[in-house]
């Protein structure tokens, strides 16, 4: 009986920890595609020198940067880069 109780406690703890790691951003909403051919952080053309861009999603918006270090730069001030993206999109629509 003690083994059963212990096993149930372990299972409950594992389930609780697995739920803690989940992101609140997990929705079924489609991701808005990245419209630019340049890096959002440094403005260099993506894919230069045969390297693939680093792609991630931030609050439902696909973001493309040159490499993972630029993702860290983006995350320091995401509002700045999202504004830059919105301004660039507005220019593209004109």
Cβ proximity of 45 and 37 under 8 Å: yes
The pLDDT, as a whole number, for residue 7 is 53
The pLDDT, as a whole number, for residue 72 is 96
The pLDDT, as a whole number, for residue 20 is 41
Torsion of CA 52, 53, 56, 57, to 10 degrees: -120
The pLDDT, as a whole number, for residue 48 is 82
The pLDDT, as a whole number, for residue 54 is 96
pLDDT in tens, 18-36: 444 334 455 678 999 999 9
The pLDDT, as a whole number, for residue 19 is 41
3-class DSSP assignment, residue 61? strand
Q: Which residues of the chain have pLDDT under 70?
A: 1-27
Residue 79 to residue 61: CA distance in whole angstroms = 12
């Amino acid at each position: 009986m003690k083994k059963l109780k212990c096993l149930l406690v372990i299972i409950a703890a594992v389930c609780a920890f697995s739920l803690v790691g989940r992101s609140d951003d997990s929705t079924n909403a489609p991701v808005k595609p990245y419209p630019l051919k340049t890096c959002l952080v440094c403005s260099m053309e993506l894919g230069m020198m045969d390297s693939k861009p680093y792609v991630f999603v931030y609050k439902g918006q696909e973001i493309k940067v040159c490499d993972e270090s630029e993702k860290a730069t983006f995350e320091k001030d995401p509002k700045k880069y999202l504004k830059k993206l919105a301004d660039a999109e507005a220019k593209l629509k004109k």
